[in-house]
Amino acid sequence: MKKLVLFVIVGLISTITIGCASMGSISGLKGEGHSRVYNFPYQKIWDALPKAMQSLKLSVAVADEKEGKILTDTPVTLWSYGEAIAVFVTRIDENRTNVEVVSRKKVGTNIFAYSYQDRILNALDQELGIKTSESGSR
């Protein structure tokens, strides 16, 4: 019986920890998220992002304007173990900026975590006064 209980505990711990994401690990996933190109200067996008995230009740944990990176996460709730989120902002030219959002479940087995990738991009569209569409430059 003790072996069975130990086996179940080890199995649960393994299942929970496989596929875990943290803010540190997600910052290395640039190029693996959803992105949009905006017809706005870098600074306008950078200034609008915290407001867009705040509209989704997300707070900025780390913001590095020089590297164009914002990190945040969602808390544990009754329905989810949360997500780790990275936003990458890249200047294309003086009037065009690429924004990429990478969102990963904190726990791989968390089936209820809601992906924030498109939600953050849509909130940014709204903050910039852009009608959200499925594709193309904004």
At residue 116, the pLDDT reads 85
Tokens (6 digits) for 101: 């959002």
73 closest CA partner among 17, 116, 18, 15:
116
Would you say 120 and 87 are in contact if contact means Cβ atoms under 8 Å apart?
Answer: yes
89 closest CA partner among 116, 65, 118, 122:
65
Domain ranges of the chain: 2-128
Domain 2-128, CATH among 2.40.30.10, 3.30.310.80, 3.30.465.10, 3.40.50.300:
3.30.310.80
pLDDT in tens, 98-135: 999 998 876 655 555 567 889 999 999 999 999 865 44
Question: How are beta strands 34-38 and 96-105 bridged, if at all?
Answer: antiparallel
pLDDT in tens, 2-56: 654 444 444 334 333 333 444 456 666 677 889 999 999 999 999 999 999 999 9
pLDDT in tens, 51-93: 999 999 998 999 999 999 999 988 777 776 788 899 999 999 9
Instruction: Report the alpha-carbon distance of residue 15 to residue 32 in Å, rounded.
Output: 23
At residue 109, the pLDDT reads 55
**Percent with pLDDT over 70 in the chain:** 67
> One-letter amino acid identity for 49?
L
pLDDT in tens, 1-11: 665 444 444 43
